Structure 1
Amino acid sequence: MQSFNKIIISGGGTGGHIFPAIAIANQLKVKYPNIEILFIGALGKMEMEKVPQAGYPIKGLPIAGLQRKLTLSNFLLPFKLLKSLWMAFRIIKNFKPDAVVGVGGYASGPTLRMAVFLGIPTLIQEQNSYAGKTNKLLSKKVDVICTAYPSMEKFFPKSKIVLTGNPVRTEMVKISEKRQEAFNFFGLDPNKKVIFVMGGSLGARTLNESVLYSISRIEEKNIQILWQSGKYYYKSLLENKEIQQSKHIFLNEFIQKMDYAYAVADIIISRAGALSVSELCLVGKPCILVPSPNVAEDHQTKNALSLVNNQAAILIKDSEAKEKLFTSAFELMESHSMQKNMSENLLKMSFPHATENIVRQLEKIIK
């Protein structure tokens, strides 16, 4: 087994890229306590805040994405790219890493290109079932590509692909042991069923509107709704009279103890981001997915279909969610055989040791 001294991890832009990167860093620290880890992100993006909060240093590149309309930012893009390539070259040259990991997002492009140019071992971690543009462009040059889904050879060279799954938070394992504690934490009644509506840290308007549309039916069914509304919607929802009067709605802006939320849930309603899907597989709770239509290449629908095609989830289109979402949820709640089948199929698709497997691939490529 090869030992590590220094590693660079690059990428970000969204939580779907950042949190796997931090999970990989944490696993490296567990296995190699003296390792130095440096992150490279894009200036002004979420990683510049989240990575230091996790205890790691980060350097920012001025790289940005292409805007859909003609803007000054688009005109400056070639200059930003050249500057980012030069900065990545200097950072790598000075830091002298044993390997460079790219998790997708703007910053991973220049960083991995320069790592390849300098002859440093490189690894890509692709979270989605539909590969991002940056990772597709880099795939021919890097040493290994760790994927979360099978059949990714349509995007990447087959010889470089290793199916590892997505890194997920370690506290998501063995959630059943936390169930009673979790009911107490949220103030929920353990004798009533729970639907967990998970809208992401910022929120999902369609999911929130669907809950509001179905409040009267929720009351009739005597089902509890544990609801993460997101910070954009929380204040206005707090002022809603129906929510204030309901004994079945438990509204939260953001839930820190996500393992507790999964533990109490009988059914989960969620978007279909890569990390959410991976965690849903790991916890094995029946789920209804409403893919966001506002993402590149409609990748959330593709993530959701990977579960639906294995009878592990139900998919509801965003445009149909308001009318159909809770009708589907109530039907699922009444079908114990469907819930059991879904749970079994979800668990079959899980990768509880994904992070360890990615670190193992890193060990293999260090010369």
Structure 2
Amino acid sequence: MRLIVAGGGTGGHLFPGIAVATAMRERVAATRVLFIGTSRLLDQQALAGCGFELAGLQCGGVKGLGTMQRLRSLLRMPGAVLEAMRMLRQFNPDLVFGVGGYVTGPVLLAARMLGVPIAIHEQNSVPGMANRLAGRLADKVFISLPCVPPFPPAKTVRTGNPVRREILAAASEKTPWPERSTTLLVLGGSQGAHRVNLLVMEAMEQLARQGRALHLIHQTGGADEEQVRTCYHKLGIDAEVTAFIRDMASVYARADLVVSRAGATTLAELAVMGLPALLIPYPYAADDHQATNAEYYVKGSGCRMLRESGLTGEILARSISEYLQNPEELHTMSANMKTMAMPDATNRIVDECLQLATRKGWHG
């Protein structure tokens, strides 16, 4: 099997692709995997040590850009498609798997022109522009949550969001909440979230004044790492501060409550781990999709959503304290998160991809 995974730019795009590629390589002997992504450092960090072949494609998005920037991106598109065709001819894939991000478009268009089978995965409840267009090209569409607007029903399968196998393993070993010390995990997405960082620092100052003891693990992104570390040191807070967390499984295993943005991949991982969360959706996400993601888990009583508008450090501190002082409620929320998990997502996607490739002429 020769598999191309196309997309990147965020962990939410990359990690499902990594999970599927790893499972495919284990399922089918001698599978070769090529990731076609961006040149961002995040892509390199996330893929480091995975053993996949990597290639970068120079292109740009169009949504949210000014007129001139959009025009420049559109002018680069034909060249990106030609470059993608060159990569595909050289690698000769049996299947192209798109995970979202602007890199996906040229690669999938090239795959369609060359007659290569296409599958895509949409992590969010509101499809991004790239995947809305990709849905027209794809032979099979996998979704994590009910999508609005929906993809064509005939080729859509709700599989859930692929979760990395080390996180699945950690979920099976996680100690129940009451038996462990109080640990708060703060996540701003793979690139960090400046406003979340500020709110949590303000909240920790409030909790420190109240003498509330807890252990803090805070993923800040590169820009705020030193500021956050210095703040907690001055407050005397027991904290682990890092720009980027590679071993999410061990961090999830130690957490009791999470403060997080509402990216779909993070939410899928929290559900598998049974981790309750205070969700602060990114207010400028395309089509406000993070809020829609969060609403799904809030309706299932596994999380609480706090809108960034109007949120203060004092309000956040009160919410954190309220939940950490109520282990029974956390236990209930944890169980509710587990009921919304779809831990078999990766295997289901691999099954569907193999069937698709076989129908299109692959002989395993």
Instruction: Give yes or no for TM over 0.5.
Output: yes
Does 2:94 correspond to 1:137? Answer: no
Aligned pair in 2 of structure 1 residues 279, 365: CA closer, same or farther (>3 Å)? same
In the TM superposition, 1:9-88 aligns within 5 A as 9-43=5-39, 46-47=42-43, 50-51=46-47, 53-66=49-62, 68-71=65-68, 73-88=69-84
C-alpha separation between the residues in 1 aligned to 2:85 and 2:249?
40
C-alpha separation between the residues in 2 aligned to 1:233 and 1:48?
20
Which residue among 339, 342, 345 is the counterpart of 1:354? 345
C-alpha separation between the residues in 2 aligned to 1:310 and 1:77?
40
Aligned pair in 2 of structure 1 residues 210, 143: CA closer, same or farther (>3 Å)? same
Aligned residue pairs, count: 351
Does 2:321 correspond to 1:330? Answer: yes
Aligned pair in 2 of structure 1 residues 282, 80: CA closer, same or farther (>3 Å)? same
SS in 2 for 1:281: helix
Aligned pair in 2 of structure 1 residues 50, 234: CA closer, same or farther (>3 Å)? closer
Following superposition, the deviation at residue 33 of structure 1 comes to 2.9
Q: In angstroms, what is the RMSD of aligned CA positions?
A: 2.4
C-alpha separation between the residues in 1 aligned to 2:3 and 2:241?
41
Does 2:236 correspond to 1:246? Answer: yes
Which residue among 154, 158, 166 is the counterpart of 1:159? 154
Q: What TM-score do you get using the length of structure 2 for normalisation?
A: 0.88
C-alpha separation between the residues in 2 aligned to 1:288 and 1:199?
12
SS in 2 for 1:130: coil
C-alpha separation between the residues in 2 aligned to 1:261 and 1:115?
38
Aligned pair in 2 of structure 1 residues 192, 291: CA closer, same or farther (>3 Å)? same
- 348-357 or 194-203: which moved more? 194-203
C-alpha separation between the residues in 2 aligned to 1:265 and 1:49?
23
Identical pairs, percent: 31
SS in 1 for 2:184: strand
Following superposition, the deviation at residue 53 of structure 1 comes to 4.6
Does 2:231 correspond to 1:234? Answer: no
Following superposition, the deviation at residue 338 of structure 1 comes to 2.5
CA contact (8 A) 1:284 1:344 kept: yes
Does 2:284 correspond to 1:294? Answer: yes
Structure 2: gaps of 5 or more residues: 360-364
In the TM superposition, 1:186-205 aligns within 5 A as 192-205=181-194
Aligned pair in 2 of structure 1 residues 252, 116: CA closer, same or farther (>3 Å)? closer
C-alpha separation between the residues in 2 aligned to 1:147 and 1:249?
36
CA contact (8 A) 1:124 1:145 kept: yes
Aligned pair in 2 of structure 1 residues 334, 32: CA closer, same or farther (>3 Å)? same
C-alpha separation between the residues in 1 aligned to 2:327 and 2:260?
20
C-alpha separation between the residues in 2 aligned to 1:77 and 1:197?
35
Counterpart residue number, 1:185: none
SS in 1 for 2:137: coil
Q: What TM-score do you get using the length of structure 1 for normalisation?
A: 0.87
C-alpha separation between the residues in 1 aligned to 2:21 and 2:107?
17
Following superposition, the deviation at residue 160 of structure 1 comes to 1.0
Aligned pair in 2 of structure 1 residues 231, 178: CA closer, same or farther (>3 Å)? farther
CA contact (8 A) 1:102 1:108 kept: yes
CA contact (8 A) 1:10 1:39 kept: yes
Following superposition, the deviation at residue 64 of structure 1 comes to 0.7
